[in-house]
Structures are given as structure tokens and as C-alpha cells.
Amino acid sequence: MAEGSVTEAPAVEDLDGITVIRGSQLVRNWNGINYALGMSARNVGTEHLSVNLATVPPGGIAYAHIHDGFEVILYIIQGRVRHIYGEGLAQTVVNEAGDFIYIKPGVPHEVYNDSDTEPVVALVSRSAADEWDRIVPYERP
């Protein structure tokens, strides 16, 4: 899938108080990460949160950015991911399947899948209903 491209999204079922997306699949590629359709203000009318399933392909990098005014929690389902983070991207943390990660608003970070063979798969939840609208590129020092 080409960078920034979007494929047709699966149907959203509004069941009068519960909303369902069945068989979510890859629908978006952004900054080196592939996303399966999740839930957000765009498709189910959430007001304060969004969630997606993200896949960082082998050798993939999500280049340095910050989350402007919203929190992110990730759960690593598969693989091993390395974040460099903080002012000047001077700190490093490595996480693997079974780990949770919390990223505070405004913390610069860059995401690496150091494996040449295995993707990183993570559940990504945000305290923002607009998903990617407030992700800001961070200029590397």
C-alpha cells in the first residue's frame, strides 16, 4: 500500500447504542505504519477517543513526531519495537509483545521495527477522537 493511500473501509454497523466493525482490515498507510480501520469520530461518532490496529512492517520507521494535546496507549501484540524519545530524541526504550506503552502529549518520539522479518503489531488507543489530525512532525536536532 502506498504512503498516504486509503482502501475501502469495512462497513460500520450502528446497533442503537453499540457500534460494530466486523473484520476490520488494512485501510490506511501513514508515516511507515499500516492501520486497520478502527473507531473514531469519523466513523462512529466518538467524542474523546479513537483506536486502531497498527502494523509496522519489518525494518519500518515512523518518523519523529509529537501528539499535540492527546495521550496514547499502545499494547504490543506481536514483535519488538524501539522508541527513541524525549527532547533531542536522546532516550531509548525497547518493548515487545505483551508490553503496554503510554506516551504523554507533546513527547517527541520516533518508532522503529528493528526486525528484518517480523512486523510489529500494536493496538493503539488515543484520547482524541480525530485520530491523526493533531500529529505534528518533530524536527530532529
Residues paired with residue 93 on neighbouring β-strands, in sequence order: 83
pTM: 0.84
Q: Which pLDDT score is estimated for 9?
A: 66
Q: Which pLDDT score is estimated for 43?
A: 85
pLDDT tens string for the chain (141 positions)?
454 444 566 778 889 889 888 877 766 777 777 777 788 888 888 999 999 999 999 999 999 999 999 999 999 999 999 999 999 999 999 999 999 999 999 999 999 999 999 999 999 999 999 877 889 999 987
- Residue entry with cell 512486523: 119
Quote the distance between the C-alpha of residue 4 and its chain's center.
Answer: 14
CATH architecture of the domain 12-137 equals Sandwich (2.60)
- Residue 99 CB-density burial (10 A; 0-12 exposed, 13-18 middle, 19+ buried): middle
Cα separation, 75 vs 55, whole angstroms = 12
